[in-house]
Chain A
Amino acid sequence: EAQVTQNPRYLITVTGKKLTVTCSQNMNHEYMSWYRQDPGLGLRQIYYSMNVEVTDKGDVPEGYKVSRKEKRNFPLILESPSPNQTSLYFCASRGRFYEQYFGPGTRLTVT
């Protein structure tokens, strides 16, 4: 089954404690991205990757890092999380017709 997986689904952490949210897709897509979703603000792109070792900033990259060492994986790293990064995060991969496939989401709470 074609899918995007994310882990963990839920995460509660404290300010400053580094964390990584994993993302993996099995569709051999080149383009992947991370979004955060906040009430009233919709989906905002954090980072995207057009292929292995090629990443670029989206609209809200501050406080986040990504890496793309393999085509299927695109982890999101928060080196020093802060409460304003409490949000719902989605990983997505994009098909050849620009259709996006989203993961199930990771709900992050930073206290």
Chain B
Amino acid sequence: TQLLEQSPQFLSIQEGENLTVYCNSSSVFSSLQWYRQEPGEGPVLLVTVVTGGEVKKLKRLTFQFGDARKDSSLHITAAQPGDTGLYLCAGPNDMRFGAGTRLTVKP
């Protein structure tokens, strides 16, 4: 079992601030996925990172996969209220998810 720990569990910030959330494991992953879940909906895939050290950008979101492929981070620049949601990381091979970081961006 490959466990994924996400931190922080909750994060509340003002619009315009930057933030980083983390996904860590003691196991090596062949790849990691990040999803965002909005209230009342199912998770939606944001990105998959595959190569150690890989950095992917999706508009104001930057995803990084650790060199050892045991951890990943999501950085949001100039957060907006529309970024509010639950951010989940997942290991695709065994379909397991972290508990998530619940982000609230206040106007």
Interface residues of A (CB under 8 A from B): 4, 33, 35, 40-45, 48, 58-59, 90, 92, 94, 97-105
Interface residues of B (CB under 8 A from A): 31, 33, 35, 40-45, 48, 88, 90, 92-93, 95-100
A102 touches B44 (CB 8 A): yes
In the complex formed, the residue of A with least CB distance to B96 is A45
For chain A, what secondary structure do more than half of its interface residues adopt (helix, strand, loop), or is it mixed?
Answer: strand
Other-chain residue from B31, B42, B48, B100 in contact with A102 (beta carbon distance below 8 A)? B42
Q: How far is the CA of A94 from the CA of B88 in the complex (A)?
A: 16
In the complex formed, the residue of A with least CB distance to B45 is A99
B43 touches A99 (CB 8 A): no
B45 touches A100 (CB 8 A): yes
State whether A92 and B42 are in contact (beta carbons under 8 Å apart), knowing that A43-B88, A98-B31, A98-B48 are contacts in the complex.
yes
A43 touches B41 (CB 8 A): no
A102 surroundings in chain B (CB, below 8 A): 42-44
State whether A99 and B40 are in contact (beta carbons under 8 Å apart), knowing that A33-B95, A45-B96 are contacts in the complex.
no
Interface-central residue, A40, A43, A90, by most chain B CB under 10 Å: A43
Q: List 15 A-B contacts (CB under 8 A).
A: A4-B42, A33-B95, A42-B100, A43-B90, A44-B97, A45-B95, A58-B95, A59-B96, A94-B95, A98-B33, A99-B33, A99-B48, A100-B43, A102-B42, A105-B41
A41 surroundings in chain B (CB, below 8 A): 99
- Not counting A40-B99, A97-B48, a sample of 15 additional A-B residue pairs whose C-beta atoms are within 8 angstroms of each other reads A33-B95, A35-B97, A42-B88, A42-B99, A43-B43, A44-B97, A45-B95, A99-B33, A99-B45, A99-B92, A100-B35, A102-B43, A103-B42, A104-B41, A105-B42
B100 surroundings in chain A (CB, below 8 A): 42
A105 touches B40 (CB 8 A): yes
A101 surroundings in chain B (CB, below 8 A): 45
B41 surroundings in chain A (CB, below 8 A): 104-105
Q: How far is the CA of A45 from the CA of B99 in the complex (A)?
A: 13
CB distance from A87 to the nearest CB of B (A): 14
A42 touches B95 (CB 8 A): no
